[in-house]
A and B are shown apart, each in its own frame.
Chain A
Amino acid sequence: NAGVTQTPKFQVLKTGQSMTLQCAQDMNHNSMYWYRQDPGMGLRLIYYSASEGTTDKGEVPNGYNVSRLNKREFSLRLESAAPSQTSVYFCASSEASLKYFGPGTRLTVT
């Protein structure tokens, strides 16, 4: 099992550009999550999906959209990137309350 995979690993964007971060899990988990990690702020939940076909806002959803394409895949889209979105993004999936994290995407917006 690959667990939780994310692409890309690194990305540099210019302000105003758009991009989609991809996440997939092969553990047949219902729930998937997107977090951002910033120094001194810990992990903050952006969006989550409790099951295929449903998505909900987390703590910091502004500037982001998500799509739960199927049970395996949960993508995060930045429509118009801003420097404040420079961060490390982690995708996670969960079985009951145990979360499994992806390796992260390091995004820089200039």
Chain B
Amino acid sequence: AQRVTQPEKLLSVFKGAPVELKCNYSYSGSPELFWYVQYSRQRLQLLLRHISRESIKGFTADLNKGETSFHLKKPFAQEEDSAMYYCAPRGSQGNLIFGKGTKLSVKP
């Protein structure tokens, strides 16, 4: 069965520090992975997807098939990055399987 693990419930960093939100998955076949973000009391929205290989709001994520990881990284965190982040691989039925989320808190 496909599974996704976000080992950190809460990640707290200071403004300007690098941040890495971890995501590991188990998947048979070629995975398609996404990061979704939810700012306080707002709806979830797509942050980035691995196939587009883009940087959104300074965040990047590289798919590492060997380590089955899709960690989200940003070199210099900003206070407005504080939010819940969800890693979501696409399941075999086409649906997204969401991790339990990591709450990122960026302190001034």
Interface positions of A (Cβ within 8 A of B): 4, 31, 33, 35, 40-45, 48, 50, 58, 90, 92, 97-99, 101-104
Contact = CB atoms under 8 A, between A and B. Distances in A.
A40 B9 contact: yes
B43 A90 contact: yes
B100 A97 contact: no
A101 B45 contact: yes
A97 B44 CA distance: 15
Kindly state the interface size class of chain B when it binds its partner. Answer: 20 to 34
A55 B90 CA distance: 19
A29 B101 CA distance: 26
A97 B32 contact: yes
B100 to A, nearest CB: 4
Given A48-B95, A97-B94, A101-B45, A42 B34 contact: no
Contacts of B90: 97
B86 interface: yes
B98 A43 contact: yes
Given A97-B34, A101-B45, A42 B100 contact: yes
A101 B44 contact: yes
Nearest to B33: A97
Contacts, number: 44
Contacts of A41: 100
A102 B43 contact: yes
A33 B46 contact: no
A42 B101 contact: yes
B96 A40 contact: no
Contacts of A99: 36, 44, 46, 96
A33 B95 contact: yes
Contacts of A35: 98
B43 A104 contact: yes
A98 B46 contact: yes
Nearest to B102: A42
